[in-house]
Every structure is written in structure tokens, then in C-alpha cells.
Amino acid sequence: MTRLDTSFAALSDPTRRGVLEQLGRSDASITDLAQKFDMTLTGMKKHVGVLEQAGLVSTRKIGRVRTCQLGPRRLEEEQAWLERYRQRWEERFDELEKVVEELSRKEKGDESRNRK
């Protein structure tokens, strides 16, 4: 699994995106997060584990409480991939538009020649 595989997979779940949004506001314990997202502790631990694996969340245990905060990765690579994609997408559709225009110009040309 490459880095992009892991991070896009981590982002493909609404609870995990919610956890990241929450941790963007303030750090939280797994118990807090489980309550906030109406989920069992085990379920939340699993989600946090996926986010931790992807470098999106860091956790530290103080006494009996495991606190979560945003991890080291800020998803720059992922953003760059999407940006490149959007650019290519627009170029492709511009090309297609030109082809369609060219075809319709030719058609009109043929029509006017046929009329003569």
C-alpha cells in the first residue's frame, strides 16, 4: 500500500472525516469521540487506528486516558494529486469541445457547399 492508498482509504468514511474535523477544533480522548459520534469504544478505536496508520492522527496515553490529536500528515500530496487531476480533466473537456466545434463547422461548410 502506498501513502495515497492509505490516506484516501482513511478518508472514505464519514466518521473518520468527522473525527479529523473534530480534532481540527480540539484534541479529544477516544471516549469523547465515541460519545460524540454515538459509537462503541471498540468501533471508535478501530477508526482512530486507521487514521493513525495513515499518519492523520497521533495518540498519547496519559494515565488511563488516550488523547487524540491531528497527526503529522497534512495531505499535501493528496491535494496535489487532485489538483493535477482537475487540470487534466479541464484540458480533456476543452479538447472535446474543440473537436465538437470543428465537426459542427465542417458540417455547416458541407451544407453551404451542397446548397450552391
Binding site for a second copy (CB under 8 A): 2, 4-6, 8-9, 11-14, 17, 20-21, 23-25, 69-70, 74-76, 78-79, 81-83, 85-86, 88-93
The nearest distance, CB 11 to a second copy, in angstroms, is 4
Least distance (Å) from a second copy to the CB of residue 34? 20
Closer by beta carbon to a second copy, 69 or else 108: 69
28 strand-pairing partners = 68
Nearer to a second copy, 41 or 103 (CB): 103
CA angle 72, 75, 81 (to 5 degrees): 150
Kindly state the smallest distance separating residue 13's Cβ from a second copy, in Å. 7
Tell the smallest beta-carbon distance from residue 36 to a second copy (Å): 17
Q: Which is nearer to a second copy, 79 or 110 (CB)?
A: 79
- At 84, the amino acid letter reads R
Q: Which of 78, 34, 32 is nearest to 56 (CA)?
A: 78
**Cα of 69 vs its chain's centroid, Å:** 19
Burial class (CB in 10 A: 0-12, 13-18, 19+), 74: exposed
Cβ–Cβ under 8 Å, residues 33 and 26: no
Residue 25 or 115 having the CB closest to a second copy: 25
